[in-house]
């Protein structure tokens, strides 16, 4: 048992009949970190989370939370865990306060001063019935119930759905405060930009396969550059084929856009053989970094899934 781990999956595999939703996923998430779990819709994120929570049983493999077996020790784990599902459902006839009181009672009581602080920070009106809330206000209640007992481990599935930018900012601040006390946040999302501002490490899952686990600093170190060249006359993309470090070239009339790795000198050497009118450059965003650096792994995973007769993961 590794006491430094908040969440661990070992060879996690979940099959529904002939369909493999998650295939041999092994993760180690440290205590005191925000871990972003990224992938497109249908990649296997929710299936992984439900397995960790023992809401569904893995076909093979193990899941552990705080060193405890997710199945054998499920009751004890829930004492230390907060969860916000992507498909949050609440009792429509209860007010926000009544909902939190009911959930707090199930936990044996909670600190209402802390709940009031959370409601103030999220600008949440707890006096209205759930049925009267917008999706964003329902999400605020969901976040409060996840944080209200100060859990050691928080598992949040698409948590910023419906939240306005100011509330998102407060949520990110709260997460950082939470992990600064030695707690852990497992943040599942289908967009990199959501976790870029707060995550310490990220894992990328595609069609049930774990493609990569990286620190945010490692991802930024791998950042590609993008250069846009305006020529006096149209230039075919074939002119830039085979240049060292160049990954992708698109043309539109006299405008050429290219992604490159490392020095842009080889690219500029070829470009300046023609009349260049203007040059501009920028970094590629993290979404494109994932697509570029893990293209081979993604294609291999997709091929394996297709060969096995598998579709997109749940």
Q: pLDDT tens for residues 207-217? A: 899 988 988 87
The confidence score (pLDDT) of residue 287 equals: 63
**Per-residue confidence (pLDDT) for residue 89, from 0 to 100:** 93
DSSP-assigned beta bridge partners for residue 157: 188
- What does the domain layout of the chain look like in residue ranges? 5-80+151-220, 224-283
The sheet that has 68-69: what strands, in order across it? 19-30, 5-16, 60-65, 68-69
pLDDT at 260: 84
Task: Give the CATH architecture of domain 5-80+151-220.
Answer: 3-Layer(aba) Sandwich (3.40)
Segment 169-191 mean pLDDT: 93
291 pLDDT more than 90: no
If you average pLDDT over residues 283-295, what whole number do you get? 60
Structure tokens at 83: 């969860």
CA distance 200 to 203: 11
Rounded to whole angstroms, the Cα distance separating 69 from 301 reads 29
Taking the C-alpha atoms of residue 207 and residue 313, their distance in angstroms, rounded to an integer, is 5
Going by C-alpha positions, the residue among 59, 57, 131, 118 that lies closest to residue 84 is 118
Name the CATH topology of 224-283. Answer: Alpha-Beta Plaits (3.30.70)
Express as a percent the part of the chain with pLDDT over 90: 67
Instruction: Give the helix ranges, DSSP H, for the chain.
Output: 45-52, 74-78, 96-106, 112-121, 135-147, 165-180, 192-196, 216-221, 265-271, 286-293, 295-307
Indicate the average pLDDT of the chain. Answer: 88
With a cut of 50, say whether residue 266 has pLDDT above it: yes
Residue 311 reports pLDDT greater than 50: no
DSSP 160: T
Average pLDDT (239-265) is 87
b/e map of 280-292 (b: 16 or more CB within 10 Å)? eeeebebebbbeb
Average pLDDT rounded to a whole number, residues 229-237: 93
Name which residue leads in pLDDT, 100 or 204.
100
Which of residues 90 and 300 earns the better pLDDT score? 90
229 φ/ψ sector (left φ>0, alpha ψ -120 to 50, else beta):
beta
* pLDDT tens-digit series, residues 73-115: 999 999 999 999 998 999 999 999 999 999 999 988 899 999 9
pLDDT of residue 302: 59
């Amino acid at each position: 048992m590794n006491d430094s781990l908040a969440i661990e999956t070992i060879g996690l595999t979940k099959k529904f009949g002939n369909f493999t939703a998650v295939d041999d996923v092994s993760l180690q998430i440290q205590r005191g970190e925000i871990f972003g779990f990224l992938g497109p819709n249908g990649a296997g994120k929710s299936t992984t989370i439900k397995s960790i929570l023992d809401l569904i049983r893995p076909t093979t493999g193990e899941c552990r939370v705080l060193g405890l077996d997710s199945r054998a020790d499920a009751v004890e784990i829930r004492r230390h865990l907060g969860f916000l599902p992507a498909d949050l459902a609440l009792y429509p006839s209860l007010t926000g306060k009544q909902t939190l009181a009911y959930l707090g009672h199930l936990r044996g009581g909670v600190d209402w001063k802390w709940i009031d602080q959370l409601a103030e920070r999220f600008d949440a009106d707890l006096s209205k019935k759930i049925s009267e809330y917008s999706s964003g206000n329902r999400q605020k209640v969901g976040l409060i119930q996840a944080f209200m007992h100060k859990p050691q481990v928080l598992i949040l599935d698409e948590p910023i759905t419906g939240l306005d930018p100011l509330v998102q900012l407060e949520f990110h601040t709260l997460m950082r405060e939470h992990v600064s006390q030695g707690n852990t946040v497992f943040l599942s999302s289908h967009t990199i930009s959501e976790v870029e501002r707060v995550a310490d490490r990220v894992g990328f899952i595609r069609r049930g396969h774990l493609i990569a686990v990286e620190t945010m600093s490692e991802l930024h170190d791998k950042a590609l550059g993008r250069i846009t060249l305006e020529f006096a006359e149209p230039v075919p993309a074939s002119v830039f084929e085979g240049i060292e470090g160049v990954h992708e070239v698109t043309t539109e009339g006299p405008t050429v856009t290219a992604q490159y790795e490392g020095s842009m000198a080889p690219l500029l050497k070829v470009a300046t053989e023609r009349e260049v009118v203007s040059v501009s450059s920028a970094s590629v965003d993290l979404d494109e970094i994932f697509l570029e650096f893990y293209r081979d792994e993604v294609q291999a995973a997709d091929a394996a899934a297709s060969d096995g007769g598998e579709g997109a993961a749940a």
